[in-house]
C-alpha cells in the first residue's frame, strides 16, 4: 500500500507510536531546571514554494517555521543545524541570498547557525533543526486542556490567501511568535499550545484527540487577515489553509483579559466536554471538518 493512501498524519502516528514519542511540536531533552526543545522541519521546493519565490524568502521561511515550533513551547531559540540539498546547477548567488534570508531571520528572532550539511539533490530541500530552551515550569505542552478554558489565537488567520495575490513576502517572510510564546510561557496560565502550521481546523482536531475534549469556535470572533477578507470565503481560508504560523492556545477564561493587554491575541471560542468541533455561525451550530494541508494526500 502506498503512502498516499494514509497521508502525513497517519504516517507520523505510525512512527511516533512505534518509538513512544509524545505528539508535540518539539521533542524534549531534560537538562536540570530546563528543557532543551528540539524541532526539525523539512522544506521542499516543489511543495512549499510557489513559482517565483525568491531564495531570500525561502531561506527565511525554512528558519521561521522551525522558530514557530520553538515559540509554541515558550522556548528561547539557541542554535540551528541546517542541511541544504541543491541541484548542481543552482547559482552561487542564489545560495548566498538563501543564506542571507536564514541569517536575517535568526538575527530578528534569535539563535545562531552552528552546523549543517550540503548535498546534491534534484530540487532545493532544506531540513532545519532548531534547538531552544525553556525553564521546565514554563514549558507549554499540547496536552493539559481543561473543560471551559478559553481558546485563543495570536495575530490573524487566513494569510495564505496572499498566495493568490502573488504577495510572497507576506506568505513566506513568516513572523514566528517567539516574543508572544515567551510572554505566554512566563504567565504560566496556558494549559495547551501549538502552532497553526497545518491550519486552524486541523490543529483543533489534533488538540481534541490528545486532550479528549471538543471545541466551540465562534465565526464572528475569528480574526481574519486582510488577505483573507479580500477573498470570497475568508472563513474557509482561516479554517482550512496552512501557512498562518500563529499560536493556538488555551487558558482559564478569567486570565484572558490579562494577556490580551500585552500581546496581539484573540479569543475564538471555548473548550467543551463533548468531543465535537463546532463552528457557531449566526447562532447556528455547524461541524468544522477535519481537513487542512496534509502531505502525501491529494
Cα within 13 Å of Cα(10), Cβ side: 8
CB 199 within 8 A of CB 287: no
Q: What's the grid cell of residue 281?
A: 455561525
Residues numbered 164 to 223 that lie near a copy of itself (CB under 8 A) are none
Q: 232: how many CB neighbours lie within 10 A of its CB?
A: 6
- Nearest distance in Å: CB 21, a copy of itself: 6
Q: Which helix (H) or strand (E) is 240 found in, with range?
A: helix 234-240
Selected from 17, 47, 164, 186, the binder of a copy of itself by CB under 8 A is 47
> For residue 178, what is the enclosing H or E element?
helix 178-187
Closest to a copy of itself by CB, 103 or 253 = 103
Binding-site size for a copy of itself (CB under 8 A) equals 67
H or E element, residue 129: strand 125-135
**Taking contact as CB under 8 A, which single stretch among the options 16-24, 161-169, 249-257, 267-275 is the one that binds a copy of itself?**
16-24
Q: Helices 55-72 & 92-109, crossing angle to 10 degrees?
A: 30
Q: How far is the C-alpha of 276 from the C-alpha of 131, rounded, in Å?
A: 35
Interface with a copy of itself, residue 143, by CB under 8 A: no
Site for a copy of itself in 255-284 (CB under 8 A): none
Contact call for residue 33 and a copy of itself (CB under 8 A): no
Task: Name which of 249, 146, 144 is nearest 196 in CA terms.
Answer: 249
Among 52, 93, 257, 282, binds a copy of itself (CB under 8 A): 93
Q: Which of 64, 67, 76, 131 binds a copy of itself (CB under 8 A)?
A: 131
| 81 sits near a copy of itself (criterion: CB under 8 A) | yes
- Biggest CA pair distance of the chain: 58
Q: State the nearest-atom distance from the C-beta of 287 to a copy of itself, in Å.
A: 28
Place of cell 510564546: 181
- Give yes or no for residue 13 binding a copy of itself (CB under 8 A): no
Q: Choose one: 38-46, 172-180, 210-218, 237-245; the region binding a copy of itself (CB under 8 A).
A: 38-46
How far, in Å, CA of 55 to CA of 212, rounded?
Answer: 42
Query: What is the smallest separation between the CB atom of 206 and a copy of itself, expressed in angstroms?
Result: 15
The terminus-to-terminus CA distance of the chain in angstroms comes to 16
Among 17, 119, 143, 186, binds a copy of itself (CB under 8 A): 119
Segment contacting a copy of itself by CB under 8 A, of 91-99, 209-217, 245-253, 280-288: 91-99
4 contacts a copy of itself (rule: CB under 8 A): yes
Give DSSP secondary structure letters for 3-39. GGGTHHHHHHHHHHHHHT---SSSEEEEETTEEEEEE
* Contact positions vs a copy of itself (CB under 8 A): 1-6, 8, 11-12, 14-15, 18-19, 21, 26-29, 31, 36, 38-44, 46-47, 78-79, 81-93, 95-96, 99, 103, 112-123, 125, 127, 129, 131, 295-297
Amino acid at each position: 500500500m502506498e503512502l498516499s493512501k494514509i497521508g502525513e498524519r497517519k504516517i507520523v502516528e505510525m512512527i511516533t507510536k512505534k518509538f513512544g514519542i509524545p505528539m508535540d511540536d518539539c521533542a524534549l531533552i531534560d537538562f536540570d531546571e530546563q528543557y532543551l526543545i528540539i524541532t526539525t522541519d523539512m522544506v521542499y521546493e516543489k511543495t512549499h514554494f510557489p513559482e517565483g519565490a525568491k531564495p531570500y524568502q525561502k531561506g527565511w521561511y525554512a528558519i521561521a517555521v522551525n522558530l514557530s515550533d520553538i515559540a509554541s513551547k515558550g522556548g528561547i531559540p539557541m542554535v540551528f543545524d541546517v542541511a541544504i540539498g541543491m541541484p548542481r546547477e543552482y547559482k552561487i548567488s542564489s545560495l548566498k541570498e538563501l543564506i542571507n534570508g536564514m541569517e536575517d531571520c535568526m538575527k530578528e528572532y534569535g539563535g545562531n547557525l552552528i552546523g549543517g550539511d550540503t548535498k546534491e539533490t534534484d530540487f532545493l530541500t532544506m531540513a532545519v533543526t532548531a534547538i531552544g530552551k525553556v525553564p521546565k515550569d514554563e514549558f507549554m505542552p499540547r496536552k493539559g486542556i481543561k473543560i471551559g478554558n478559553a481558546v485563543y489565537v495570536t495575530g490573524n488567520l487566513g494569510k495564505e490567501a496572499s498566495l493568490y495575490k502573488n504577495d510572497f513576502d507576506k506568505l513566506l517572510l513568516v513572523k514566528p511568535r517567539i516574543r508572544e510564546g515567551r510572554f505566554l510561557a512566563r504567565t504560566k496560565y496556558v494549559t495547551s499550545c501549538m502552532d497553526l502550521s497545518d491550519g486552524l481546523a486541523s490543529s483543533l482536531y489534533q488538540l481534541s484527540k490528545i486532550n479528549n475534549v471538543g471545541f466551540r469556535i465562534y465565526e464572528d470572533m475569528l480574526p481574519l487577515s486582510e488577505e483573507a477578507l479580500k477573498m470570497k470565503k475568508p472563513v474557509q481560508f482561516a479554517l482550512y489553509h496552512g501557512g498562518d504560523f500563529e499560536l493556538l492556545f488555551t487558558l482559564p477564561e478569567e486570565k484572558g483579559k490579562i494577556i490580551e493587554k500585552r500581546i496581539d491575541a484573540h479569543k475564538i471560542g471555548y473548550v467543551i466536554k463533548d468531543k465535537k468541533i463546532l463552528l457557531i455561525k449566526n447562532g447556528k451550530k455547524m461541524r468544522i471538518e477535519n481537513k487542512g494541508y496534509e502531505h502525501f494526500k491529494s
